[in-house]
Amino acid sequence: MEATPVTEPMRRLGASPLAINAAAIGAILLRDIKLRAGPYYTGFLMILLLPLAHLLIVVIVFHIFGRLAPQGTDQVVYFGLSILPFVIYTYLSRQIVISLAENRPLLYFNRVKIFDILLARVILEATGSVVVFIIFVCVLAVYSTDFSPRDWPGIVFAVAATIYFGFSFGVPNALIAHVLPVWYMFFNFTIPVFWLASGIVFLPTAIQDPYDRWLALNPLLQCVEWIRYAYYEDYPDKLLNIPYLITFATACLAVSLIAERLARRVLLSK
């Protein structure tokens, strides 16, 4: 009588850390979409309409009061392009700051990391920012008689850099706000400061030295200057410093990565 060979069941290989992180980010992203969009996904309209309405209302107000454009002949184009980086930064960074508070219970799962929550939120908000940018450009192209960008790739890169800066600057503020809840209020106070100091309602290059150089230290002003420089043929690049903008944003993100583990321990111990 022959013995029946015994075979061991094949063991499934464990998922890689990258696959686990991707799955966690995907699950959190779906959760964020469900919570913000509602049962019938009508909340998607609010995600897109709020920043777009903010953008259009400010442009219309400038137009009604006859605010002259410091550059070019079309005030709607000038102020629209100037306000666009501010709107993208404001809505994206604010959502990142509150993302940890909204998803804090998820941190009790060992597989969920702080940056999983932040990356899921930035994917959602960056997608909304891109859609807002496309819609706004279409509106300008249809209704403006003087819409002729000089450098389309430059405009796209300026918007991408604004998204990157909004994410990189929002991450450390999100970590601080969860350790010190009063930081939420402080961060909201910085938004009007960015509005006033980013050269939206004035021409930064018209400011005398050395005050213009001081203003140029504001990364959001660099985003505004970049998109103007990419649009207008004769716009001065006196204050534009793209390496500074990218370096500042990357430094914020690097510091946040270093502080992530410490912040996670503090959050879970509270």
pLDDT cut 90: percent of the chain above it: 24
**What span, in angstroms and rounded, lies between the C-alpha atoms of 36 and 21?**
22
The DSSP symbol for 42 reads T
What band does 5 get if pLDDT is binned at 50, 70 and 90?
low
**Global confidence as pTM:** 0.85
User: pLDDT by residue (tens digit) across 179-218?
Assistant: 888 888 899 888 888 888 888 888 888 888 888 889 899 9
**What span, in angstroms and rounded, lies between the C-alpha atoms of 117 and 122?**
9
Q: What is the pLDDT of residue 198?
A: 87
Q: What is the pLDDT of residue 136?
A: 85
Burial class (CB in 10 A: 0-12, 13-18, 19+), 262: exposed
Domain residues of the chain, as ranges?
20-269
The candidate with the shortest Cα–Cα distance to 79, out of 91, 66, 89, 98, is 66
**What span, in angstroms and rounded, lies between the C-alpha atoms of 207 and 217?**
14
Q: How far is CA 203 from CA 18, 221, 230, 235, 241, in A?
A: 46, 11, 15, 10, 16
Res. 146: pLDDT tops 90: no
Amino acid at 76: V
252 vs 70: which has the higher pLDDT: 252
What band does 270 get if pLDDT is binned at 50, 70 and 90?
low
The candidate with the shortest Cα–Cα distance to 99, out of 21, 48, 35, is 35
**What span, in angstroms and rounded, lies between the C-alpha atoms of 18 and 200?**
41
